[in-house]
A and B are shown apart, each in its own frame.
Chain A
Amino acid sequence: EVQLVESGGGLVQPGGSLRLSCASSGFTFNDYWMNWVRQAPGKGLEWVANIKQDGSEKNYVDSVKGRFTISRDNGNKSLHLQMNSLRAEDTAIYYCVRDTWLSFDVWGQGTLVTVSS
């Protein structure tokens, strides 16, 4: 079964850091671009970042550039998101998402990040 499972979410103070992880199974991880997509409580979807199969190319939404870093470990079939200088507006469910021909065809269940003092 194709599956993505996120972990690492939680409560963090403004200005703090958090590292999200996503474990994959059921498919050849290093064949795909991978993404993080987030959804603030009661709001719509927002794409956060993506990374190429070999990690050589990374793209970010403007609001997280310089604060978030996406990375992958193809040997362990995992995706990561290092989040620094967190702000209240980063509070959201973060989804790990597989990209197949520019469509998001596999989604994890999400992990909640809450930034609050």
Chain B
Amino acid sequence: QSVLTQPPSASGTPGQRVTISCSGSSSNIGSNTVNWYQQFPGTAPKLLIYSNNQRPSGVPDRFSGSASDTSASLAISGLQSEDEADYYCAAWDDGLYGFVFGTGTKVTVL
């Protein structure tokens, strides 16, 4: 079951800024860093942001992450058509002693 809550969908026109929220609790986001994953239909997820706000090599700088208290967010600046995908947040949970994922957000480029 998903312990982290995300909005089911988000959308924007090309060039706009889109933000996705991820709400958790003191045992996960409140205690550990948050990672974000991007998934296109029929493919494996890809690491997009790690340690709250770090981008792996090759990830465009229009993607940024932040976290505070028990919530985190992913921002996509200058939205592009190729950003249309599903996005998931994730973190380690000290209470469950396992990783938990967000419910997922489908981003649509209008």
Contact = CB atoms under 8 A, between A and B. Distances in A.
A104 B98 contact: no
B97 A101 contact: no
B50 A105 contact: yes
B4 to A, nearest CB: 10
Chain B interface SS verdict (over half): strand
A44 B88 contact: yes
The DSSP consensus for interface residues of chain A is: strand
A44 B44 contact: no
Given A44-B2, A44-B88, A101-B51, A107 B98 contact: no
Given A59-B97, A101-B50, A102-B32, A45 B90 contact: yes
A108 interface: yes
Contacts of A110: 44
Contacts of A32: none
A102 B104 contact: no
13 contacts: A37-B99, A44-B88, A44-B101, A45-B39, A45-B104, A46-B1, A47-B101, A50-B98, A100-B50, A102-B35, A105-B47, A105-B50, A108-B44
Q: Can you list the 6 inter-chain pairs with the closest CB atoms, starting with the nearest? A: A103-B50, A47-B99, A107-B44, A44-B104, A103-B35, A45-B101
